[in-house]
Amino acid sequence: MISKILVPVDGSSHADLAAEKAVEIAEKFNARVTFYHVIFPPSRYMVVDIPPDFFQNLLDEMEKQGQNLLARYVEKYQGRVSVSSLIDFGHPADMICRRAEEDKYDMIVIGTRGLGAIKGYLLGSVSDRVSHHARVSVLIVK
């Protein structure tokens, strides 16, 4: 039984492919798709002498961009399947694994690569880590 599918997205074309595949699966199983974005916050200790609001403004801007990204997926697919979206702050791979387990998703559908494509590697660091550490099934879309 597949009723909840988690689709981590980062704005890459690989994530778009994963989203499309997840929606196709969801249509067959009448499952719900959650588009999920994780913001990796830069360390506030890396920069000295910054204005007090700088760090919070940066996080707010990152969150706004993340929400815009998720809204695009929701808009695109809400007519086909039941969709929702979710945003978190933290280490992307760890958050994806934790969310999937805690919120009892049946499956994670993720892209092979992302925005940080380094030539020669088949898997990105997030998809590699998720495939090894997630406690739910992972579909890596190629």
Q: Interface with ligand ADP by CB under 6 A: which residues? A: 8-10, 12, 14-15, 18, 36-38, 92, 110-111, 113-117, 124-127
Give SS3 for 5: strand
Using the minimum distance from each CB to Mg ion, give the nearer residue, 21 or 37.
Answer: 37
Report the nearest approach of ligand ADP to the CB of residue 8 (Å). Answer: 3
Place of tokens 């690989």: 14
- Map residue 82 onto helix, strand or coil: strand
- 4 contact choice in ligand ADP, Mg ion, none (CB below 5 to 8 Å, kind-dependent): none
Q: Using CB under 5 A as the criterion, what x/- string covers residues 107-126 for binding Mg ion?
A: -------x-x----------
Exposure class string for 115-141: b at 16+ Cβ within 10 A, else e: eeeeeeeebbebbebbbeebebebbbb
Q: Which residues bind Mg ion (CB under 5 A)?
A: 114, 116
